[in-house]
Chain A
Amino acid sequence: MIRIVTQHPSLAGRIDDLLGAFESTTKPARAVNIIQVTGEPGEAHRLHRGCHRVVFDEDEGLLPSLIGLINQRAIYGTCSFAVHSAVLAHGGRVVAFPADSGDGKTTLAAAGILEGMAYATDEALVLDDSGQVVPYPKPLALSEWSCETLGLEPKGSETLFTAGDLGGRVVNESRPLTDIVIASYGAEHQALDRRPSSQAVAELIGKSFNHYKDPQRAFRLSTEIARRVRVWKLDYDDPTQAIKLLRESILDG
């Protein structure tokens, strides 16, 4: 469990908005990670994790830092098999975009939401033991470049959006994965090609956060999924056009 403590109503309200897609609970937890946001109104806020102080004096970066901290705790604390990936859903299909940090997952996820796809996550494909995708709809942190590319207004070097802020909706139940898209930015134009299903195993394990914790389970889930999903290679130079190509080619109809 992660508990966030602050005495600032406006900040608490904004945090509530950003994390609104997640369940809150009053159940007791075995372990509680406490993150505190301190400071007086009109002064710089500071972010504290447990007994350690993570100094962040600029309000502009406070909330992205907070979300980053929560994300870190969630990813490395999960017992489920988790893969570094965005996940979107549309027309009965659930599509994962496994990729490393900085490779464009969040921008693609935001483009997908803006094009009417439902949002499951921009960070982690989480699979339960039956191989179903568990939604992890954390707020999307978009760079200035990403905001401008998608026609959104940046509010600093990094701006947080919920799916709702982008006019979209969240996937709110576990669903089976149907497609894996290996996306590569920097091509001259958009292109989508089918790849062998066996590549899914390499992508899921290669981009996993925690396969090493239970290699047998990671391999079992990866091969089970590989046997039932379609795998695609997507080369693109424009995230919005890339999503449109995906929708037209494999998701619509």
Chain B
Amino acid sequence: MVVGPVSPHVLEAEIDGDKSLYNPRTEKVTILNGTASDIWRLADGEHTVGEIIDLLAASYQVEAFEIAGDVESAIAQLSQAGLIDSP
């Protein structure tokens, strides 16, 4: 099952390398650091959780198992915040 896509009502901006997301429905702002921003970029409705883990592991030059837990946790938080559609 794919992750995303990004909820259409979410507003986003990049500030000094951090991604700021605003969900007007929950009235909450979420700030994403570098890794979370990479996950956000891949949460486009085209990639599964496994594919995102593999792509980021390759990009960071680490083993997939090293980042799998963090990636899954970040996706769950984005989903819980109403920023992406649940996988």
Contact A198 B31, beta carbon cutoff 8 Å: yes
Chain A residues near B20 (CB-CB < 8 A): 198, 201-202, 223, 226
Q: Are A215 and B11 also in contact (CB < 8 A) when A198-B31, A199-B31, A202-B31 are?
A: yes
Contact A219 B16, beta carbon cutoff 8 Å: no
- Per-residue interface assignment for chain B, residues 18 to 33, with 1 indicating a CB less than 8 Å from any chain A CB and 0 otherwise: 1010101001110100
- Of the candidates A206, A218, A219, the one whose C-beta lies within 8 Å of that of B13 is A219
Contact A223 B27, beta carbon cutoff 8 Å: no
CA distance A197 to B18 in the complex (A): 9
Verify if A14 is at the interface (C-beta below 8 Å from B).
Answer: no
B24 and chain A: residue at smallest CB distance:
A215
Within 8 A of A (CB), among B37-82: none
How many A-B contacts at CB < 8 Å in the complex?
Answer: 47
Q: Say which size band chain A's interface belongs to.
A: 10 to 19
Contact B29 A216, beta carbon cutoff 8 Å: no
Total number of B residues with any Cβ neighbor in A under 8 Å: 12
Contact B15 A227, beta carbon cutoff 8 Å: yes
Contact A223 B15, beta carbon cutoff 8 Å: yes
CA distance A201 to B30 in the complex (A): 9
Dominant secondary structure of chain B at its interface with chain A: strand
Contact A226 B15, beta carbon cutoff 8 Å: yes
- Of the candidates A197, A199, A216, the one whose C-beta lies within 8 Å of that of B11 is A216
B16 and chain A: residue at smallest CB distance:
A197
- Per-residue interface assignment for chain A, residues 195 to 215, with 1 indicating a CB less than 8 Å from any chain B CB and 0 otherwise: 011111110011000011001
Chain A residues near B29 (CB-CB < 8 A): 201-202, 205-206
Chain A residues near B11 (CB-CB < 8 A): 215-216, 219
Contact B18 A215, beta carbon cutoff 8 Å: no
A216 and chain B: residue at smallest CB distance:
B11
Distance between B30 CB and nearest chain A CB, rounded to angstroms: 8
Q: Are A197 and B15 also in contact (CB < 8 A) when A205-B22, A211-B27, A212-B27 are?
A: yes
Interface residues of A (CB under 8 A from B): 196-202, 205-206, 211-212, 215-216, 218-219, 222-223, 226-227
Interface residues of B (CB under 8 A from A): 11, 13, 15-16, 18, 20, 22, 24, 27-29, 31
Pairs across A and B, CB under 8 Å, 27 listed:
A196-B15, A196-B16, A196-B31, A197-B15, A197-B16, A197-B18, A198-B16, A198-B18, A198-B20, A198-B31, A199-B31, A201-B20, A201-B22, A201-B29, A201-B31, A202-B31, A205-B22, A205-B27, A205-B29, A211-B27, A215-B11, A215-B24, A219-B13, A219-B22, A223-B20, A226-B15, A227-B15
Given contact pairs A201-B22, A202-B29, enumerate 17 new A-B contacts (beta carbons under 8 Å): A198-B15, A198-B16, A198-B20, A199-B31, A201-B29, A202-B31, A205-B22, A205-B29, A206-B28, A206-B29, A212-B24, A215-B11, A215-B22, A215-B24, A222-B22, A223-B15, A227-B16
